[in-house]
Amino acid sequence: MPAGDIGRRLVSRREELGLSVEDVADRTDIPAGYLRYVESQPTAAPGLTFLERVADALDTSVSRLRGGGVDLPEGTGVAAARPTLLKLTPEQCQALMSTHGVGRVAVTTTQGPAILPVNYAVVDGGIVFRTGHGSAAALSDGVEAAFEVDQVDEARSEGWSVLAVGPARRVTDVGAVEEYERQAHTKPWAGGDRDLWVRIDPVRLTGRRIEAS
């Protein structure tokens, strides 16, 4: 792993959440000076306790801070010795999906089913994402769509998955589009011309969580 990667990931996640170094210090009981050192010095090599505290404070995982599995599918780690599978309530599902991130929308194309990753946001209970006109993701317009979000903690062999199902439609109201643009947090990672907004209004939210005992 190239030196300094942990510090860059820490800064990126902290800024994504709108937190200062002092905010993280308060949440972790780690001196702000040491946090700045880890963020700025390529030779910094923080221990597991530091990484666990920071990961909890930044709502991420030790594995993600370390960059483990960047080029591999999630879930390649070893299962926990005594895992517990929990069913999530719709309220818990809603809380986990909010407010934004990367999810997957399932569509039917002329070549068959497809599952596509998109940057999304949750606005007034609806899932919104932007895509390009004529793209595969645009085929969700006008049909019942399935949308999935998950998170895996490789270090603890834990994770959760939420599935939302409901009608999808393209958004044409100018005021709504402006509001989605404001709350989008980030431009689509794939880049390009993606000015078609699609909204899914979930009528069913289900989810599961795996916890390690």
Tokens, residue 98: 């909010």
3-state secondary structure 19-38: CCHHHHHHHHCCCHHHHHHH
The answer, yes or no, to whether residue 83 has pLDDT greater than 50, is yes
Q: How confident is the model at residue 67 (pLDDT cuts 50, 70, 90)?
A: confident
The domain defined by 83-212 folds into Pnp Oxidase; Chain A (2.30.110)
- Domain locations in the chain? 5-66, 83-212
Quick one: pLDDT band at residue 149, thresholds 50, 70, 90?
very high
Instruction: Check if 5-66 and 83-212 are the same fold.
Output: no
Whole-number mean pLDDT of the chain? 85
- Contact (Cβ atoms closer than 8 angstroms) between residue 107 and residue 118: no
pLDDT at 73: 64
Residue 2: pLDDT band (50, 70, 90) is very low
Residue 66: per-residue pLDDT: 81
DSSP string, 106-156: EEEETTEEEEEEEEEEEETTEEEEEE-TTSSGGGGTTSEEEEEEEEEETTT
Highest mean pLDDT: which range of 8-12, 173-177, 178-182, 197-201: 197-201
User: Which pLDDT score is estimated for 89?
Assistant: 96
Burial code of 41-80, b = ≥16 C-beta within 10 A, e = fewer?
eeebebeeebbbbbbebbebbbbbbbeeeeeeeeeebeee
Question: How is domain 5-66 classified at the CATH fold level?
Answer: 434 Repressor (Amino-terminal Domain) (1.10.260)
The answer to whether residue 3 scores a pLDDT higher than 70 is: no
